């Protein structure tokens, strides 16, 4: 990469590894756009749904029963009360993919999750990062952030890992924790949150 060329960093992360915080600090350090909630807002507007509805569906796929109910709602011979049908998994993924691609085309940015590493895999100035950490570290961060018990934190982590694995597999055909698909994979429980920000910034200078 050239110093003057727009660049994009995508951060894929395990829940509790500090991905969102690291992304915000990295964007601030590099003075570039931080794309997380903004993607939710744009997707909600484009799909004509509430932001909280998009947020609740992010990086998750509908269950079998949810999909079945949704298909019935679209069937002409089955009566359901008039309502705005929620977007399908494919519609949500497509909307967010277009938003992510547009952001990466228009400005330098740090983009969090949503299969961004895969969506921007052919982008010429793209650094893909995967953040992971040991379970104890993740549990403690989640426990403190959400003020929940250890058991509740562990349940949140297990459910998040399962949901993200299924979502990534469905739309990328890849296993999301496979480090080979990223430029950089870091264990935040080993090097710490703040040093991870520094290390990504240093690595970027090698690529530019």
pLDDT in tens, 24-59: 999 999 999 999 988 988 988 998 888 888 888 777
Locate tokens 């694995």: which residue?
165
Q: How confident is the model at residue 3 (pLDDT cuts 50, 70, 90)?
A: low
pLDDT of residue 78: 43
Query: pLDDT per residue over 119-164, tens digit each?
Result: 999 999 999 999 999 999 999 999 999 999 999 999 999 999 999 9
Burial grade of 101 (CB within 10 A; 0-12, 13-18, 19 or more): middle
Ordered strands of the 33-35 beta sheet: 33-35, 109-112, 8-13, 126-132, 184-187
Domains of the chain and CATH, by start: 8-39+88-207 (3.40.50.300)
Which of the pair, 10 or 76, is modelled with greater confidence? Answer: 10
- Beta carbons within 8 Å of 166's beta carbon, 6+ residues apart: 60, 61
> pTM score, two decimals?
0.85
- CA 77 to CA 85: how far, in whole Å? 16
């Amino acid at each position: 990469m050239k110093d003057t060329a727009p660049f994009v960093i995508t951060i894929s992360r395990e829940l509790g590894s500090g991905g969102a915080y690291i992304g915000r600090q990295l964007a601030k350090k590099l003075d570039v756009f931080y794309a997380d909630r903004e993607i939710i807002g744009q997707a909600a507007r484009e799909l004509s749904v509430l932001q909280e509805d998009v947020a609740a569906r992010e990086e998750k796929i509908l269950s079998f029963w949810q999909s079945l109910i949704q298909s019935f709602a679209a069937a002409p011979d089955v009566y359901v009360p008039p309502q705005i049908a929620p977007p399908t998994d494919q519609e949500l993924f497509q909307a967010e993919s277009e938003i992510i691609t547009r952001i990466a085309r228009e400005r330098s940015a740090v983009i969090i999750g949503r299969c961004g590493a895969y969506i921007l895999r052919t982008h010429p100035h793209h650094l893909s990062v995967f953040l992971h950490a040991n379970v104890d570290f993740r549990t403690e961060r989640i426990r403190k952030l959400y003020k929940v018990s250890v058991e509740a934190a562990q349940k949140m982590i297990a459910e998040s890992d399962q949901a993200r694995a299924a979502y990534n597999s469905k739309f990328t055909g890849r296993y999301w924790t496979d480090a080979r698909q990223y430029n950089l994979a870091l264990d935040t429980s080993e090097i710490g949150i703040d040093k991870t920000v520094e290390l990504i910034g240093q690595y970027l200078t090698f690529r530019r």
